[in-house]
Amino acid sequence: MSLFITAAYIAIAIISISTILTLVRFFKGPSLPDRVISLDVFSANLLAVLAIYSVLSEEKAYLNVALIMSLIAFVGTMTFAYYLVQKREKSKNYDQ
Amino acid sequence: MINDLLSAAFMLGGSIFMLIASIGMVKFPDFYIRNSASTKAVVLGVLLILLGVGIHYNDTMIFIEIFAILFFIFLISPLAAHIVSRAAVITGVGFWEKTDLEELEDYKKEQDKEAIRNTKWFATSEQDTSQRKC
Protein backbone atom coordinates (compact mmCIF):
# COMPACT_ATOMS: atom_id res chain seq x y z
CA MET A 1 0.00 0.00 0.00
CA SER A 2 1.55 3.24 -1.09
CA LEU A 3 1.63 6.48 0.86
CA PHE A 4 -1.05 8.07 -1.28
CA ILE A 5 -3.60 5.31 -0.81
CA THR A 6 -2.98 5.30 2.95
CA ALA A 7 -3.58 9.05 3.04
CA ALA A 8 -6.83 8.63 1.09
CA TYR A 9 -8.08 5.99 3.54
CA ILE A 10 -7.18 8.24 6.50
CA ALA A 11 -9.06 11.13 4.88
CA ILE A 12 -12.13 8.92 4.40
CA ALA A 13 -11.92 7.92 8.08
CA ILE A 14 -11.74 11.56 9.21
CA ILE A 15 -14.72 12.49 7.03
CA SER A 16 -16.70 9.55 8.46
CA ILE A 17 -16.09 10.90 11.98
CA SER A 18 -17.27 14.33 10.89
CA THR A 19 -20.39 12.77 9.32
CA ILE A 20 -21.21 11.12 12.65
CA LEU A 21 -20.81 14.47 14.43
CA THR A 22 -23.11 16.09 11.88
CA LEU A 23 -25.72 13.40 12.54
CA VAL A 24 -25.45 14.13 16.27
CA ARG A 25 -26.53 17.68 15.53
CA PHE A 26 -29.24 16.36 13.22
CA PHE A 27 -30.82 14.31 16.01
CA LYS A 28 -30.22 16.87 18.76
CA GLY A 29 -31.09 20.05 16.87
CA PRO A 30 -33.75 22.00 18.73
CA SER A 31 -35.22 23.70 15.67
CA LEU A 32 -35.89 22.80 12.03
CA PRO A 33 -33.25 25.19 10.54
CA ASP A 34 -30.59 23.38 12.61
CA ARG A 35 -31.55 20.15 10.90
CA VAL A 36 -31.56 21.76 7.46
CA ILE A 37 -28.03 23.10 8.00
CA SER A 38 -26.77 19.76 9.29
CA LEU A 39 -28.26 18.04 6.23
CA ASP A 40 -26.35 20.53 4.07
CA VAL A 41 -23.06 19.71 5.80
CA PHE A 42 -23.92 16.01 5.52
CA SER A 43 -24.30 16.25 1.76
CA ALA A 44 -20.99 18.14 1.51
CA ASN A 45 -19.34 15.30 3.46
CA LEU A 46 -20.88 12.79 1.05
CA LEU A 47 -19.51 14.82 -1.88
CA ALA A 48 -16.01 14.72 -0.39
CA VAL A 49 -16.21 10.96 0.19
CA LEU A 50 -17.33 10.48 -3.43
CA ALA A 51 -14.39 12.52 -4.70
CA ILE A 52 -11.85 10.55 -2.66
CA TYR A 53 -13.48 7.24 -3.57
CA SER A 54 -13.20 8.10 -7.25
CA VAL A 55 -9.43 8.35 -6.69
CA LEU A 56 -9.29 5.02 -4.85
CA SER A 57 -11.28 3.08 -7.44
CA GLU A 58 -9.82 4.94 -10.49
CA GLU A 59 -13.35 5.59 -11.72
CA LYS A 60 -13.81 9.11 -13.09
CA ALA A 61 -17.60 8.87 -13.31
CA TYR A 62 -17.96 9.46 -9.56
CA LEU A 63 -16.99 13.11 -10.10
CA ASN A 64 -20.11 13.59 -12.24
CA VAL A 65 -22.11 12.09 -9.39
CA ALA A 66 -20.52 14.65 -7.06
CA LEU A 67 -21.54 17.50 -9.38
CA ILE A 68 -25.17 16.36 -9.41
CA MET A 69 -25.06 15.83 -5.62
CA SER A 70 -24.11 19.46 -4.98
CA LEU A 71 -27.00 20.72 -7.14
CA ILE A 72 -29.57 18.42 -5.49
CA ALA A 73 -28.40 19.45 -2.02
CA PHE A 74 -28.91 23.09 -2.96
CA VAL A 75 -32.45 22.39 -4.19
CA GLY A 76 -33.24 20.57 -0.94
CA THR A 77 -32.00 23.42 1.23
CA MET A 78 -33.92 26.01 -0.79
CA THR A 79 -37.09 23.94 -0.55
CA PHE A 80 -36.85 23.68 3.22
CA ALA A 81 -36.26 27.43 3.61
CA TYR A 82 -39.22 28.20 1.34
CA TYR A 83 -41.38 25.78 3.33
CA LEU A 84 -40.42 27.45 6.62
CA VAL A 85 -41.30 30.94 5.38
CA GLN A 86 -44.56 29.82 3.79
CA LYS A 87 -45.64 27.94 6.92
CA ARG A 88 -45.02 31.05 9.01
CA GLU A 89 -47.05 33.27 6.69
CA LYS A 90 -49.95 30.82 6.57
CA SER A 91 -50.14 30.56 10.36
CA LYS A 92 -50.10 34.39 10.53
CA ASN A 93 -53.10 34.54 8.21
CA TYR A 94 -55.00 31.99 10.28
CA ASP A 95 -54.34 34.02 13.44
CA GLN A 96 -56.00 37.04 11.90
CA MET B 1 6.07 11.28 -6.48
CA ILE B 2 5.63 15.00 -5.88
CA ASN B 3 2.15 14.70 -7.38
CA ASP B 4 1.23 12.02 -4.87
CA LEU B 5 2.65 13.93 -1.90
CA LEU B 6 0.87 17.16 -2.87
CA SER B 7 -2.41 15.38 -3.52
CA ALA B 8 -2.26 13.50 -0.21
CA ALA B 9 -1.50 16.72 1.69
CA PHE B 10 -4.45 18.52 0.05
CA MET B 11 -6.83 15.66 0.82
CA LEU B 12 -5.77 15.39 4.46
CA GLY B 13 -6.02 19.18 4.92
CA GLY B 14 -9.48 19.25 3.37
CA SER B 15 -10.77 16.40 5.51
CA ILE B 16 -9.42 18.12 8.63
CA PHE B 17 -11.36 21.25 7.65
CA MET B 18 -14.52 19.15 7.29
CA LEU B 19 -13.88 17.72 10.76
CA ILE B 20 -13.49 21.25 12.17
CA ALA B 21 -16.80 22.23 10.55
CA SER B 22 -18.71 19.39 12.15
CA ILE B 23 -17.07 19.90 15.54
CA GLY B 24 -18.33 23.47 15.26
CA MET B 25 -21.79 22.12 14.38
CA VAL B 26 -21.86 20.19 17.64
CA LYS B 27 -20.16 22.61 20.02
CA PHE B 28 -21.43 26.09 19.17
CA PRO B 29 -24.32 27.48 21.22
CA ASP B 30 -26.60 29.06 18.65
CA PHE B 31 -28.11 28.32 15.24
CA TYR B 32 -26.69 31.44 13.59
CA ILE B 33 -23.14 30.86 14.87
CA ARG B 34 -23.31 27.22 13.77
CA ASN B 35 -24.48 28.30 10.33
CA SER B 36 -21.62 30.76 9.92
CA ALA B 37 -18.99 28.27 11.08
CA SER B 38 -20.18 25.31 9.01
CA THR B 39 -20.61 27.24 5.76
CA LYS B 40 -17.11 28.68 5.60
CA ALA B 41 -15.22 25.60 6.76
CA VAL B 42 -17.14 23.24 4.48
CA VAL B 43 -16.46 25.36 1.40
CA LEU B 44 -12.73 25.42 2.14
CA GLY B 45 -12.64 21.68 2.87
CA VAL B 46 -14.40 20.72 -0.37
CA LEU B 47 -12.11 23.08 -2.30
CA LEU B 48 -8.97 21.41 -0.91
CA ILE B 49 -10.23 17.84 -1.43
CA LEU B 50 -11.28 18.48 -5.02
CA LEU B 51 -7.93 20.14 -5.78
CA GLY B 52 -6.20 17.04 -4.39
CA VAL B 53 -8.29 14.79 -6.64
CA GLY B 54 -7.49 16.95 -9.66
CA ILE B 55 -3.76 16.91 -8.94
CA HIS B 56 -3.86 13.12 -8.68
CA TYR B 57 -5.58 12.65 -12.05
CA ASN B 58 -3.51 15.39 -13.78
CA ASP B 59 -5.98 15.64 -16.66
CA THR B 60 -7.56 18.68 -18.32
CA MET B 61 -11.09 17.32 -18.53
CA ILE B 62 -11.02 16.37 -14.85
CA PHE B 63 -9.89 19.90 -13.98
CA ILE B 64 -12.75 21.39 -15.99
CA GLU B 65 -15.22 19.14 -14.17
CA ILE B 66 -13.73 20.08 -10.81
CA PHE B 67 -13.96 23.77 -11.61
CA ALA B 68 -17.63 23.27 -12.49
CA ILE B 69 -18.25 21.66 -9.08
CA LEU B 70 -16.31 24.42 -7.30
CA PHE B 71 -18.19 27.11 -9.23
CA PHE B 72 -21.53 25.67 -8.15
CA ILE B 73 -20.42 25.30 -4.53
CA PHE B 74 -19.05 28.83 -4.35
CA LEU B 75 -22.28 30.11 -5.86
CA ILE B 76 -24.63 27.96 -3.82
CA SER B 77 -23.21 27.77 -0.32
CA PRO B 78 -23.44 31.45 0.75
CA LEU B 79 -26.85 31.72 -0.92
CA ALA B 80 -28.23 28.72 0.95
CA ALA B 81 -26.79 29.93 4.26
CA HIS B 82 -28.31 33.38 3.77
CA ILE B 83 -31.74 32.03 2.84
CA VAL B 84 -31.89 29.52 5.69
CA SER B 85 -30.88 32.09 8.30
CA ARG B 86 -33.41 34.56 6.89
CA ALA B 87 -36.09 31.88 7.25
CA ALA B 88 -34.85 31.26 10.81
CA VAL B 89 -35.18 34.95 11.71
CA ILE B 90 -38.67 35.06 10.22
CA THR B 91 -39.83 31.93 12.08
CA GLY B 92 -38.31 33.19 15.34
CA VAL B 93 -35.40 30.87 16.15
CA GLY B 94 -33.78 32.05 19.37
CA PHE B 95 -30.49 33.91 19.61
CA TRP B 96 -27.60 33.29 21.97
CA GLU B 97 -27.87 35.38 25.12
CA LYS B 98 -24.59 37.22 24.45
CA THR B 99 -25.45 38.21 20.88
CA ASP B 100 -25.68 41.97 20.31
CA LEU B 101 -29.14 42.51 18.81
CA GLU B 102 -29.30 46.31 18.61
CA GLU B 103 -29.07 46.56 14.83
CA LEU B 104 -31.73 43.88 14.32
CA GLU B 105 -34.10 45.75 16.66
CA ASP B 106 -33.49 49.00 14.77
CA TYR B 107 -34.12 47.24 11.46
CA LYS B 108 -37.38 45.75 12.74
CA LYS B 109 -38.57 49.16 13.98
CA GLU B 110 -37.80 50.70 10.58
CA GLN B 111 -39.71 47.91 8.87
CA ASP B 112 -42.72 48.45 11.09
CA LYS B 113 -42.70 52.16 10.26
CA GLU B 114 -42.52 51.36 6.55
CA ALA B 115 -45.42 48.93 6.84
CA ILE B 116 -47.55 51.54 8.62
CA ARG B 117 -46.63 54.15 6.02
CA ASN B 118 -47.52 51.87 3.11
CA THR B 119 -50.82 50.68 4.51
CA LYS B 120 -53.87 52.14 2.78
CA TRP B 121 -56.12 52.90 5.70
CA PHE B 122 -59.05 53.89 3.50
CA ALA B 123 -59.40 53.60 -0.25
CA THR B 124 -59.84 56.98 -1.93
CA SER B 125 -61.32 57.30 -5.37
CA GLU B 126 -58.07 58.67 -6.85
CA GLN B 127 -56.15 55.59 -5.83
CA ASP B 128 -58.82 53.36 -7.32
CA THR B 129 -58.71 55.05 -10.72
CA SER B 130 -54.92 55.04 -10.80
CA GLN B 131 -54.89 51.33 -10.05
CA ARG B 132 -57.34 50.68 -12.87
CA LYS B 133 -55.18 52.60 -15.34
CA CYS B 134 -52.15 50.55 -14.40
Name the residue ranges covered by the structural domains of chain A: 3-95
Q: Do B38 and A40 make contact, defined as CB atoms within 8 angstroms?
A: yes
User: pLDDT of A6-58, one tens digit each?
Assistant: 999 999 999 999 999 999 999 987 888 899 999 999 999 999 999 999 999 98
Confidence band, pLDDT 50/70/90 cuts, at residue A93: low
Q: Do A67 and B25 make contact, defined as CB atoms within 8 angstroms?
A: no
Q: Enumerate long-range contacts of A3-9, CB under 8 Å, 24 or more apart.
A: A3/B4, A3/B5, A3/B8, A4/B4, A4/B7, A4/B8, A4/B56, A5/A56, A7/B8, A7/B9, A7/B11, A7/B12, A8/A52, A8/A55, A8/A56, A8/B8, A8/B11, A9/A56
Count of CB pairs separated by less than 8 Å, A with B:
158
pLDDT at B1: 82
Residues of A in contact with B22 (CB under 8 A): 17-19, 21-22, 25, 41, 45
- Containing domain of residue B9, as a range? 2-119
Confidence band, pLDDT 50/70/90 cuts, at residue B10: very high
Q: Do B45 and A48 make contact, defined as CB atoms within 8 angstroms?
A: yes
A53-79: b (≥16 Cβ within 10 Å) or e = bbbeeeeeebbeebbebbeebbeebbe
In what helix (H) or strand (E) does residue B13 lie, and over which residues does it extend?
A: helix B2-27
Closest residue of chain A to B44, computed from CA coordinates? A44
Residues of B in contact with A70 (CB under 8 A): 69, 72-73, 76
Residues of A in contact with B69 (CB under 8 A): 47, 63, 66-67, 70
Q: Is B51 on the interface with A (CB under 8 A)?
A: no
Give a yes or no: residue B125 inside a domain: no
User: Count of domains in chain B?
Assistant: 1
Closest residue of chain A to B77, computed from CA coordinates? A74
Give a yes or no: residue B23 inside a domain: yes
Q: Out of A2, A33, A40, whose CB is closest to B31?
A: A33
Q: Out of B34, B49, B80, whose CB is closest to A52?
A: B49
Give a yes or no: residue B134 inside a domain: no
Residues of A in contact with B91 (CB under 8 A): 31-33, 84-85, 87-88
**ipTM surpasses cut 0.90:** no
Give a yes or no: residue B62 inside a domain: yes
User: pLDDT of B18-55, one tens digit each?
Assistant: 999 999 999 998 889 999 988 999 999 999 999 999 99
d(CA B2, CA B22): 31
